[in-house]
Amino acid sequence: MARYVTRIPSPKSPENAFAYMADLCNFAQWDPGVKKAVQVQGDVPGLGSEFDVTVKGPGRDLTLRYRITEFNAPYELLAVAKSSVFTSIDRITVVPTSTGCTVTYNAELRMNGLLSIADPGLRLVFHRIGDRAARGLRGALS
């Protein structure tokens, strides 16, 4: 399993930061690995809403269907996507501070089935991808 965690202080209110993060369509604004994201289920982000997130892949793009499986506004949500190759689990937590909030993005990527043997190599790549996304998220939340 590959894991990436970043904590980003933001001057935004917890409500505004959470609303921004809960709308997975915004991924394309801050994560350079995301080409586009579209909500395909539900009218607004919330429990059970789904998003198709298209990421740049080696050789071809890959579209993942993320489903929000936990939603506790304005504090925490869990979004999960599963493909034939891997499972992505993204937990977003927002904690109020005296100057706004801190957003924690905790992403796990697990190769499925026999492909799990490739997890050690995935960890190296996932860390570089996470660093680029964290830089974009820092800018989006400032």
| Tally of CA atoms within 13 A in the half-sphere of 121 that contains its CB | 5
Domain 2-141, architecture per CATH? 2-Layer Sandwich (3.30)
Above 80 in pLDDT, residue 108?
yes
Q: Which helix (H) or strand (E) covers residue 105, if one does? A: strand 100-111
Mean pLDDT of 49-78: 94
- Tell me the per-residue pLDDT of 11-25, one tens digit each, with 9 for 90 and over: 999 999 999 999 999
Q: What is the dihedral of CA 12, 55, 90, 10, to 10 degrees?
A: -10
pTM of the predicted structure, to 2 decimals: 0.91
pLDDT, greater one: 124 or 31: 31
Enumerate the domain spans of the chain: 2-141
- Tell me the per-residue pLDDT of 25-61, one tens digit each, with 9 for 90 and over: 999 999 999 999 999 999 999 999 999 999 987 788 8
Q: Where are the beta strands (DSSP E) in 42-99?
A: 50-55, 62-72, 76-82, 86-97
Percent of the chain with pLDDT over 70: 92
